[in-house]
Amino acid sequence: MGIEAALSTDSILTTQLQRVINWARRSSLWPMPFATACCGIEFMATACSRYDLARFGAEVARFSPRQADLMVVAGRIGIKMLPVLQRIYEQMTEPKWVISMGACASTGGVFDTYATVQGCDQFIPVDVYVPGCPPRPEMLMEGIMAIQRHIDNEGIPPKGPDGRRIPLGLTVEPTYTPRPQPVPITIGR
């Protein structure tokens, strides 16, 4: 990986085992995309060549929960889908992380109806909220990097005294200022 060229062959590297474990964990997040709507398309764009999520070691999207440790909730969740979301989350391997991508996953978005979950964090612990409709790929990457930074420093997710998972509850700042709406409508005679 190039490190052999940078170091002479008789060098010795020392580090803490925990740091190596954290480094390995943060460099191999495997996403489980729970993509139910248009935000899923943005996730696909993030994984494709232009944005290249592989640079962060997180391109191995798995649809088998036992092989994934990063759930990306991308899209609105219907009440009927909720048990499926929870089942998949429970089947994922520990330590696991959750990103709520987009307004629909975090708040229900414009779908303020009885059939739509008004925020998946009411039912699973969300570590990072990525705002937008849809968020840009850069913002999703920022969310993934926020989790990577936490793993680098802390390793595993925090748990309360009762053993329950405590969500990180981080929010990614938007990277752009929304432009004003187009010119006002005038009706001529």
DSSP letter assigned to residue 165: B
Nearer to ligand SF4, 44 or 155 (CB): 44
User: Could you tell me how many residues of this chain bind ligand SF4 (CB under 6 A)?
Assistant: 11
Cis peptide before 131 (omega within 30 of 0): no
User: How far apart are the C-alpha atoms of 26 and 152, rounded to whole Å?
Assistant: 7
Burial of 140 (0-12, 13-18, 19+ CB in 10 A): buried
- The interface with ligand SF4 within residues 50-89 (CB under 6 A) comprises 75-76
* Overall residue count recorded for the chain in this entry: 189
Q: Of the candidates 89, 100, 103, which has an alpha carbon nearest to the alpha carbon of residue 127?
A: 100
CB of 69 to ligand SF4, least distance (A): 23
User: How far apart are the C-alpha atoms of 152 and 126, rounded to whole Å?
Assistant: 19
Q: Using the rule CB under 6 A, give the single segment among 79-87, 101-109, 142-150, 177-185 that binds ligand SF4.
A: 101-109
CB of 41 to ligand SF4, least distance (A): 8
146 sits near ligand SF4 (criterion: CB under 6 A):
no
Among residues 31, 65, 102, 125, the one that binds ligand SF4 under rule CB under 6 A: 102
In this structure, what token pair is assigned to residue 160?
Answer: 């309360």
CB of 135 to ligand SF4, least distance (A): 8
137 sits near ligand SF4 (criterion: CB under 6 A):
no
- Binding-site ranges for ligand SF4 (CB under 6 A): 37-39, 75-76, 102-104, 109, 133-134
